[in-house]
Structures are given as C-alpha cells and as structure tokens.
Structure 1
Amino acid sequence: MPNRFYFNFACINYILLKPMKPVAFPLIPILILFITAFSCSSNSSKPRKPVSSIAVQPAKNNYVFGEKVSVNVKTKTRDGQIESIKLYFNNTLIKESKELDFTVENVLIEKLGSGNFTVEAVKTDGLKNSRLLVINTISDVFPEKFTYQVVNTFPHSKTHFTQGLEFYNGFIYEGTGEYGTSGLFKTDLRTGKTLQSHMLADQYFGEGITILNDKIYQLTYRTQKGFVYQLSDFAVIDSFQFKSKEGWGLTNDGAHLIMSDGTHVLTWLNANDFSVVKTLEVANNKGIVNYLNELEYINGTIYANVYTTDLIVQIDPDTGKILSQINLAGIINIYKNNQDKIDYLNGIAYDNKTERLFVTGKLWPKLFEIKIIPSK
C-alpha cells in the first residue's frame, strides 16, 4: 500500500496520494489570498451611500412651457436608515420625505430651455448622495410672422462694422467692432455725418451699446470688459467686468442693462455695480434660439437680431418666449455692389417719440426706417 502523507497549513489540507517528493509551497500567494479575503470582508461592512432614481411622466424629449408632470423618486439603501429625501426643481425644494418611493403630482414647468430635477438623499449616519435629471422645455407660443415695408432710407457709413445702434434725442448712436477700428459714434440721421466719436484701444473689439441715465454703456467682444461714457462728450467715466465669456448686444429696460452673449441666454445687469440680476433662456415652439445679437427694448419687449440671418425676433422679457419674428430678407439687395464688403444684418434702433423703427447692418451703405407688416 502506497505511503500517505497529510499536511495542514492555514486550514488547508494537502493530501498526497503518492510517495512524497520535495514540495515548495506557495506561501506568498496563499498569504495574498488570505489578506484579500480579509480586506473584502472588511469593505463589505463599510456603510453605503443611498442611491436614488428620478422618473418624469410623461417621458419626453421636449416639454412645453405650462405643462404639468408627475415626478417619481425611488431610493435604495443597503444599510442604515434614511434621514430625509429632498426633491428640487430648478433649485427650489418641492418635496421632502423619508419614504423610499414617492411621487409628486402636477409639477408646473414654467422655465424655458434647460431645467433640472435634483434628489438629495441623506442617511441617519450622515452619508448622502444626489441624482440629477435634466429636461428641455420649449415655448407654448407659435411666433407670429412679419415682414417689412421700407418707409425711408438714410446714409450709413460703409466702414462701420455695426455692433450696437441707438436712436436718442434725434441722433443715431452707434458702436462698431473690428480690432483697430472699434469705436463709438454720434451721427446725423439725415446726412450720416459723424458729429462725435471715440475710438477704442486696438486690443478691444467693440460690441453693443445702450444709453441710460445720461450714460452710454458699451460692451467688448472677448475681454469681458465694458466701458461707461458720459453722454455729452464721450468721456470715459467708468469700466466694468462681466461674467459672460463674450459680449454681443446691449439694451436696457429703464432700470437694468440687458446683454446677449451669442447664445440663447440674456443677462440682466445692475447698472451701478454690474452684478447679475437674472438670466433668461430664449426659445420658440421648436427649441432654444441661439446667436442672439444686437438688442433693442421696445414697448416692454426685447427685439434681437439673430446673427447670420435676416431675422429679428421679439422676446417676452419675463418668460423668454419668442412672440414674433420679422423677416428682413432682401432689404439690402439693391444697394449691394461687387466692390462693397457688406456683412450681416445687425442694428435695431427705435424712436419712442415718433414710433419709428430703424435697422442697418455691418458695413451697410444704408440705414432703413421700416414698418412691420404681417406676412402673407
């Protein structure tokens, strides 16, 4: 009968059924297995964070402003107890509960563009976790469509790369762009003659302008800097920084500055300290509208050029809904010639006293007074 040897090491029996030969036991791998098992056992006893999920019904790619939805929140815990579960909609708390599964009905969606639901779940041991769900909202308004009728034509400098336009006390004020030729100009409407000017330093690309409380405010393109001028003599009396990456159009509502930055977002600024008062996302019934450019505040609404298009859109300043759009296609066509560098439509000015509306564009030879008429 063959010899039988038994070997016991770390609770593992080695049974050798043949005569024993010299064996080198793998001590290091066995120790690693032992340590790993101990480590895994230790990790499994660590407290776990709660995990939540958010479901919005009905499920859609785009929600409509004014729509009501239900929001279901489910939370799982592997250990411990829940202290609280909070549900926020656009950073406003709408429900707090200790239930692991709850639903909030009739949540009203009244913010255009990007919105979000956030759940924050906290356990009694202090461990917490959060979950974010982003939704998109379009407008419930189908914009009215308008075209135009030219009432009058006035001269406009073919060297002015128009970025801002304003009619004030009988004169045209204009902010222009391009590095090395950016400036601020006061011109005679009838003759187009420059009456007053101020040139920006070469490192600045001038952008939108607006007049408020006997001051002219002007943005620059990518320096996140604006300038404040005295209306009477264009003396620079202040400068300011803004948070938007780019400055595009500028207007005011009589109290605050309102700026565009080339996206679908408008930003209200305090006219004294230039802090952000609010932001507003702009959308129509199809989605957000980007490239909002030169702005004009007219009778309680905001008119904006849409960059690279022939469109001006009318915006509700409370909701961001586009109420109407004006198509100015063809307005400059008869004045084009092969020698001129005519760029995009950009520039809206309004005479509050006579209710005249003026438009022009970058490097355009003409400025137009137009009447808005319904599209056929």
Structure 2
Amino acid sequence: MKKSLITGFAAILLLASCKNDRKILDALADYNHSMEEKGYRFGDKITLPKEVTDQAESISISFGDRETSGLTVDPEFFEFGNNEVTFNIKMKDGETLNQDATINVFTKTPEQNIAYEIVAEYPHDPKNFTEGFFIEGSTVYESTGLKGESRLIKYTLGSTVPSQSVKQAPEIFSEGCAMAGDRIYQLTYQSKIGFVYDKNTFKKISEFPLPDAFWEGWGLTYDGKNLIADTGSNDLYYLDAGNPSKVVKKIPVGGNKDIYNQINELEYHNGFIYANVWHQPYILKINPATGEVTGRFDFTKITEEHTKNNSEHVLNGIAFKGEHMLVTGKNWPKIYEVAIK
C-alpha cells in the first residue's frame, strides 16, 4: 500500500511538472509572437515573461553551434533581420526546457524618405523582363530573365534596338549583371552558375559556380573592389571579382521597422548601395559599412502605372547617369531619369 501511494504521488508531481512546463513554454511562445513585429535594436535587453523568469535558474540563447547567457541584443551574436534562436531554460527543479524563437533586429535610426523629380523619360523595350541594369556613358547594359527569353544586351539610351546581344540556353533564367574592368558578370536564377563576358565583344569568357551559400542568384553590382550580390533575402554577399565563387563577407541589411527580405536588383554609387525590393515600389539606399538602410525612394505612383495589368511587372532596374538615377522595371516601356533632391 505504501509503495502504491508513493507511485501515485510521483505521477501527480510529474503531471503537475508537465503542466507547468507547458505553461512556461506557451508563455514564451506567446511572447515571441508579440515581439516578432515589434522587434529589437542593438543594445536592447531581451525581457522575458514573468512565468519564465520566476521558475528559471538560468537562461541562455543558442544560435546553432554558438551560445550566450547574455540577454542583450549584441551584434556579436545577432544581426539585422530574422534571427532564429533557441531559448535554453534551466529550471529551479533541475529540468531544462528549450523553446525555438525568432528575434527580429531593426536599426535604431529611421530611414529618410528621399525626395526626387522625374526630369526625363526614355523608351524601354517592354519585352525585356529586366533583372540586371547599369549604364556606362550613354550605353545601357541589361540582363533579361525568363527561361527561353534570357539575354545579355546593350543599347544606346533612347533606343530600344540592341547593338549587341547574347541569348542564353533555353533552360537558363538570367538575373543580375555588373561590370568589373572589361568583364561583365551575369548571375542565373536557379541554375547555380554565373557567366563572364568580354565587355567589347560580348563573347563568353568563362562560367563559374555560384557560392555554396547561394540557393538562387538575384541582384549584382560592383564597388570597384568586390562584386556584391544578393539571393532574395536581406543579405548582401561580397564576392571576389577574380574568383566570384568565393564569398569575402556577408552584410545583413536592416530597416527601422521593415525586414527587407527580398532585396533584388543592385547598384553601387558614391559609397552607397542602392537596391530594389521585389514586389515593393521602393529603392533603398544602404550604408555598406553597417548594412543600415539610411534612405528610401518611394516610386509607388509610377510602379502602379506598370503593375495594374500584371503584378509581376515590378520596379527592378537602377543605374546612375552622373548624379541622376535611371529607373525601370520588368516589361516596362519606359526608363525614367530622376534628379535626387
């Protein structure tokens, strides 16, 4: 009889413990959902629900194979955007609970709205599904996408007739392009390869495998030293121009209230990176030293004009003609010249 009482008491304790654990984990999950939109800034203290802290002897956060017992948003462990983490909670009764969570990190300073004025318009071939776009002098270089339609072309600003063109194999979906010296680099969407062309002859010099970190190729630009690419996330990858399969470093991009998870076509100009965001009417101005979005151009009005009949005809093309910006989009019939105020 005594043995049965002890066994029954242990079962009650286990049930109570399980209920308490569930309550703590539920509180942490609810807290996580409430904080995903609000997010944190670097230096902020992560405050957890009282249901958790009252029962915890210690709390740590793990990031894959790294772990910290500090509950401060430290750039040594956190980066802009979504941070997938696990809370490890050692209870006062010796049990350890684990709860996965997402901690969003934003910038402290809001991005400025940058004023502009459209000063000129040029024709653009509406058949071009624009993925890469830059200009040298009066010559526009463009990478167009879609399987069976992908090309690298160049033409004079104001004309829609290519002076040179290279068509890709039917299975290739071309993406961003950039010039480094006398070479043009072009990414592909899901084929995991890139192409290198001679700038003058448009002959293909070589192919290269995309870095292992890339699941897809999206935008591409050149800062005078490295190629800078993105993969449709909020990360910018610096690539060795001599060996574009090699990642030199990664810079996560952050906004004050937005996580720009689908950065697309890129352009480097005067120390800043400019970026389209897929399916958004914005061009971001990014500080490459920190990844912070310092400013944003709102092209809602002209984007709506081109997407009203097809939502895929999005803003996606940035080039600089002197200090004026050229912008266009996928299957747009126009290129706009913009004076920045």
Of 115, 118, 126, the residue aligned with 1:158 is 126
Cα deviation for residue 280 of structure 1 reads: 2.4
Structure 1 pair 332–280 and aligned structure 2 pair: CA distance change class (3 A): closer
AA aligned to 1:135 is I
Cα deviation for residue 343 of structure 1 reads: 1.3
Please list the CA deviations of residues 148-196 of structure 1 after superposition, one character each: whole Å capped at 9, or x if unmatched.
3211111111111110001113310000001111101110112333111
Distance of 2:306 and 2:262 partners within structure 1: 26
Cα deviation for residue 144 of structure 1 reads: 0.8
Structure 1 pair 366–69 and aligned structure 2 pair: CA distance change class (3 A): same
TM-score by structure 1 length? 0.67
Q: In the alignment, which residue of structure 2 is the partner of 1:245?
A: 215
Q: In the alignment, which residue of structure 1 is the partner of 2:313?
A: 343
Distance of 1:288 and 1:65 partners within structure 2: 13
The alignment status of 1:233 with 2:201, answered yes or no, reads yes
Cα deviation for residue 217 of structure 1 reads: 0.5
Structure with the bigger percentage of helix: 2
Q: In the alignment, which residue of structure 2 is the partner of 1:65?
A: 41
Distance of 2:73 and 2:281 partners within structure 1: 38
Q: In the alignment, which residue of structure 2 is the partner of 1:316?
A: 287
Q: In the alignment, which residue of structure 2 is the partner of 1:182?
A: 150
Aligned 1:215-234 pairs, distance under 5 A: 215-234=183-202
Q: In the alignment, which residue of structure 1 is the partner of 2:334?
A: 366
Distance of 1:132 and 1:107 partners within structure 2: 17
Q: In the alignment, is the contact (CA less than 8 A) between 1:154 and 1:192 conserved in 2? A: no
Structure 1 pair 149–90 and aligned structure 2 pair: CA distance change class (3 A): farther
Cα deviation for residue 341 of structure 1 reads: 9.9
Q: In the alignment, which residue of structure 2 is the partner of 1:257?
A: 227
The alignment status of 1:328 with 2:299, answered yes or no, reads yes
Structure possessing the higher radius of gyration over alpha carbons: 1
Structure 1 pair 168–91 and aligned structure 2 pair: CA distance change class (3 A): farther
Of 298, 304, 307, the residue aligned with 2:269 is 298
Aligned 1:1-376 pairs, distance under 5 A: 64-69=40-45, 108-109=74-75, 111-115=79-83, 135-242=103-210, 243=212, 244-273=214-243, 274-331=245-302, 343-351=313-321, 354-373=322-341
Structure 1 pair 211–75 and aligned structure 2 pair: CA distance change class (3 A): same
Distance of 1:330 and 1:169 partners within structure 2: 28
Distance of 1:367 and 1:199 partners within structure 2: 22
Distance of 2:70 and 2:313 partners within structure 1: 52
Q: In the alignment, is the contact (CA less than 8 A) between 1:219 and 1:225 conserved in 2? A: yes
AA aligned to 1:311 is Y
Structure 1 pair 334–143 and aligned structure 2 pair: CA distance change class (3 A): closer
Secondary structure of 2:300's partner? coil
Greater Cα offset, 238-247 or 196-205: 238-247
Cα deviation for residue 105 of structure 1 reads: 8.3
Please list the CA deviations of residues 225-282 of structure 1 after superposition, one character each: whole Å capped at 9, or x if unmatched.
1101111111111111113111111112111111121222221211122211222222
Secondary structure of 1:194's partner? coil
Residue ranges of structure 1 left out of the alignment (5+ in a row): 1-54, 77-85, 95-102, 121-129
Cα deviation for residue 114 of structure 1 reads: 3.8
Q: In the alignment, is the contact (CA less than 8 A) between 1:221 and 1:246 conserved in 2? A: yes
Secondary structure of 1:330's partner? helix
Cα deviation for residue 89 of structure 1 reads: 7.6
Distance of 1:105 and 1:334 partners within structure 2: 47
Q: In the alignment, is the contact (CA less than 8 A) between 2:40 and 2:73 conserved in 1? A: no
Structure 1 pair 309–131 and aligned structure 2 pair: CA distance change class (3 A): closer
Aligned residues, how many? 291
Over the aligned positions, Cα root-mean-square deviation in angstroms equals: 3.6
Distance of 2:84 and 2:239 partners within structure 1: 24
Structure 1 pair 361–202 and aligned structure 2 pair: CA distance change class (3 A): same
Q: In the alignment, is the contact (CA less than 8 A) between 1:164 and 1:250 conserved in 2? A: yes
Distance of 1:310 and 1:107 partners within structure 2: 31
Q: In the alignment, is the contact (CA less than 8 A) between 1:148 and 1:327 conserved in 2? A: no
Residue ranges of structure 2 left out of the alignment (5+ in a row): 1-27, 48-52, 89-97
Cα deviation for residue 147 of structure 1 reads: 4.4
Please list the CA deviations of residues 68-113 of structure 1 after superposition, one character each: whole Å capped at 9, or x if unmatched.
548999679xxxxxxxxx998897787xxxxxxxx75877446312
Q: In the alignment, is the contact (CA less than 8 A) between 1:281 and 1:288 conserved in 2? A: no
Distance of 1:67 and 1:75 partners within structure 2: 20
Structure 1 pair 281–345 and aligned structure 2 pair: CA distance change class (3 A): same
AA aligned to 1:303 is Y
